[in-house]
Structure formats: structure tokens, C-alpha cells
Amino acid sequence: MLLHRPGSELRRLTPRNNDQLLFDGVPWVPRAQAEHDAFAAELTSRGVEVLYVDRLLAEVLAYPTARTELITAAVDDPRLGASLKRAAAAHLADLAPADLAGTLIAGLAHDELRGGRGVAYELMDRRDFVVPPLPNLLFTRDSSVWVGDEVAVTSLAMPARHRESTITAAIYAHHPRFAGAEQLYDASLEHLEGGDVLLLAPGVVAVGVGERTTPGGAERLARRVFARGLAHTVLVVPIAQQRATMHLDTIATMVDVDALVMYPAVADSLVAWTVTAGDHPPDDDGVVDLTVRGPEPFVEAAAAAMGIDRLRVIDTGLDPVTAEREQWDDGNNTLALAPRLTVAYERNTVTNAALEAAGIEVIRIAGSELGSGRGGPRCMSCPISRAPL
């Protein structure tokens, strides 16, 4: 499981910049770290191997090719101008791998840059960043998603998150731990975020389309998983383009082989288009023909694709006000460690009670500070491989 322990990048958040950096508040960093450590400890106690982004990044930065790629990406910003870009690149190139990893994640402030020069540097506010921080790196689910034994390095929609994909791409490309891993997608393609991708069953993938993932991204992923034999059905699921429902996994997550928990406000209205490979063979460029059917109710389309009679939706029994509150607090963004075993924020008491009443064991974790970036346990984790069911 790939995690990122929050660090100095969260200390860069202020009331002046937190909206731009996609946080709804300024978290108390030591408490956020303690909450994350407890989350990681729960995973480890259940037999999950935890890998940390910053450690993997420091290790790949020992390789010259990876250093060059990541430094180039960090200063590839039209705000900087040629002089400041050269000065920032030189500053970063002088750093040891661990220090460079920390700076690429936490950012480089105006006053931290040695040898800053140029018009852009002189006119920049002293509180501004030459290299912006990446506080959303905490949500490792979004910048990559594994389908079978291949990894899709995603194309993140929000400018504040673009560099996250360059970091995950470098880790998968250069770290010996991932030697030979095939990349299914890359950040140069249509917008696609990992939080919008649900693996419902072997061969069945659901992709949410809304604020962060485009229809073109869903179509591109479908063609690629079909061409590589990784799936036989992709369900394309439109979701409301709102902050509280930014990804498909903020409104629905699997908690058993035939069950999911879902935001009650969308349970009766969520629909899906069913996409399968067409009858024609791939063309000369390897592009797979597609057949698209729908729309129909999501739970019906999912059950048919999964080959089961019915996909159970766990009834949380929430009144509209409580449902809206627990949706805002990521009550439906659970992390399934195994069938009927899930991790959830402790604060969503009603949703958690409903899960337990349905036979789902809930590992409760604190998230008062972690949740300020609008993400729950599933958002904060990227499973790399799982034991087969």
C-alpha cells in the first residue's frame, strides 16, 4: 500500500493560499501526522505492507535520470521566466537526494532560494513559492491506480496537483521495487484521477466522470484495459461536479464482494453507461473499437457486469442532514482491506454503525485534521497488489 505521511508541505498552508491548494482549512500538522501514523499502524497490524512516497522518492533521486526529470518538471512553470528558472534548477541540483525529495514535496519559497535573480524573482511576493508545495500528495489514490499488474499514472485536473503525477511516474519508472511494471496511462493524456476508478470485480472497472475525470479520460482508459486484457467491462458513471462529490469514491466504495456503501442522496439516481470492446479487431494503431450501452441504474449495470444477481447497497438509514454531514466528512470513502473489513473515519458514527449492522467490520481511525483536504482512508491509500479473492 502506497501512503504519504503528511509533512512540511502542510505547514505551507495558510488562510491566504489554502483554497488555491485545495484544502478547506489549515490543519494542525502534528495532529495530522499522529492520525496518519495511527492509520498506517492499523494497516500494518492487518498484514499490509506500507510504502512511503517520500522514502521511495529519495531513493530514486540517487539516479541522475530521475533527478533531471523531476527538477525539470519542478521548474517548468511560466511564472518563473528564464533567469529564475535557471536559478531554481541550479539550487535544486545542489541538494542531496533526501533534501531534494523534501523540497520537491514541501516546495521552495522565494526567500529559501539561493542565488535568486531575474525580473520574476524581484517582483515576486516574499511569501510566494518558486516551487509550490504539494499538500494533496497525502491522497495517493489519485495520482496512480493499479489495474491488475499494470499501473495507470493519472492526469490530474487541478493545476495545484500536476506535479504529483511526475513524482509517482518517476517512482514507478526508476525504483527497483517496480522494475518491469507496465504503465497503462500517463499524465500527458486526458484528465483521469484514481479516486474516480473503482475496481468492482475481476475484469470490471467503474470510472466516475465529473469535476476531475473527463469522458475522454474514461474512454482512453477503457480502450487500454481492453487492449491489454485487464478488463472486459468499464462502467462510465457521471457524478455531480461539486466539492463534496469530487470523485466517484467519495460517494460509493466497495465493502464486500457484492456490496457497497453509497451516499443516500445519489443511491436512486446514479446511472452508468456500459462500455465493452466492439466486434472489430484493433486498428493499425492498436485502437480498440468500443460498444456503448445505456444509461441504466448504476447498481443494475454493475451487477450485470459482475455476473451477480444483485449488488447490495448498504442502507445507512441517514436523514438528509446527517447524510450531508457524513458525506462531507468522507463517510462513504472507506478502504476495503478484505471482504467485510474496511477502514473508516471514526467521526461518521451513523454510517459506521450501519456498516456493522450489515456485517462489515469497521476499523475506525481519527481524521479531524487529515480530512481538511476532503479525503478519507481510501483517498489516502494506493493499493499496489492484492491477494486474489
Looking at residue 190, what DSSP letter applies?
S
Cell 439516481 sits on residue: 269
- C-alpha distance across the termini of the chain, in Å: 17
C-alpha cell at 194: 484514481
C-alpha cell at 201: 470485480
Given the residues 145, 379, 380, 382, the one annotated as active site: 379
Indicate the burial class of 45 (C-beta count within 10 angstroms; 0-12, 13-18, 19 or more): exposed
Beta bridge partners of 365: 345
Indicate the burial class of 342 (C-beta count within 10 angstroms; 0-12, 13-18, 19 or more): buried
* Separation between Cα atoms, residue 300 and residue 291, nearest integer Å: 18
- Residue 47, phi then psi, degrees to nearest 5: 90, 10
Cell 443494475 sits on residue: 300
Letter for the amino acid at 2?
Answer: L
Q: Is 379 a catalytic residue?
A: yes
- Residue 292, phi then psi, degrees to nearest 5: -120, 125
Indicate the burial class of 180 (C-beta count within 10 angstroms; 0-12, 13-18, 19 or more): exposed
Residues catalogued as catalytic: 379
